[in-house]
Structure 1
Amino acid sequence: MPKSKVRKKTVYTPPPRKQTAQAARAAGPSSPIYVGVMLGFMLLGLVWLVVNYLAGDKIGFMIALGGDGTGFNYNFVVGFALIIIGLLMTMKWR
């Protein structure tokens, strides 16, 4: 039986990559100030919620935000918004 001819395959060479200035620059670690602000937002939100529970009915601006029990309590919105801002900042933290 006759043998079939073996075909030679060309070696694959990937196309040359173009490096942009932005891709060539490696991102370094985050500034300690950024980390401090990030943690500060989270802690401030936590402190806001704790103070709202413990003494919210005695603090004037917290009563104005709805801490008197008659309507919607915006203190929860402020506290959780501060915590969420801090958590969103963690996505940019390196």
Structure 2
Amino acid sequence: MPESKPRKKTSSAAQPASGAQAYKPNAVWFKPVMFGLMIIGLFWIITFYISEGRFPVQAWESWNIVAGFGIAIIGFLMTTRWRS
């Protein structure tokens, strides 16, 4: 009795399940920017407190704290997209 041709086996790891996305690692610049924003935000706030409000932007007064936290929060939000 003749044999039938075997089917080609596909690896389940090579093909994502229906509806799933294959994730790629982040670009090389992603981690330095992410950590850089967190550090810049921290230094912005520290500079504001150490200089007693004269630096980084004297005209902004206490809004410098909001700016520092805003910069740092952008860095923290980037951590939710971090893939290795």
TM-score band by shorter chain is: 0.5 to 0.7
2:66 partner amino acid? V
Match of 2:75 in 1: 86
Structure with the greater alpha carbon radius of gyration? 1
1:90 partner amino acid? T
The alignment's TM-score, normalised by the length of structure 2, stands at 0.68
Query: Where is the helix percentage greater, Structure 1 or Structure 2?
Result: 1
Q: Does the 8 Å CA contact 2:48/2:54 hold for their aligned counterparts?
A: no
Q: Does the 8 Å CA contact 1:46/1:79 hold for their aligned counterparts?
A: yes
1:65 corresponds to 2:80 = no
Aligned residues between the structures: 67
Q: Does the 8 Å CA contact 1:56/1:62 hold for their aligned counterparts?
A: no
The alignment's TM-score, normalised by the length of structure 1, stands at 0.61
* Superposition misfits of 4+ residues, deviation over 3 angstroms: 56-59
CA-to-aligned-CA distance 1:42-93 (integer Å, 9 cap, x gap)? 011001011111125443x621011xxxxxx101000000111111110000
Measured in 2, the distance between the counterparts of 1:56 and 1:79 equals 15
Q: Report how far residue 29 of structure 1 moved.
A: 1.5
- For the aligned residue pairs, the C-alpha RMSD in angstroms reads 2.0
CA-to-aligned-CA distance 1:8-34 (integer Å, 9 cap, x gap)? xxxxxxxxxx846xx4x5212112201
1:28 corresponds to 2:24 = yes
* Structure 2 segments unaligned to the other structure (5+ residues): 1-16
Match of 1:45 in 2: 41
* Structure 1 segments unaligned to the other structure (5+ residues): 1-17, 67-72
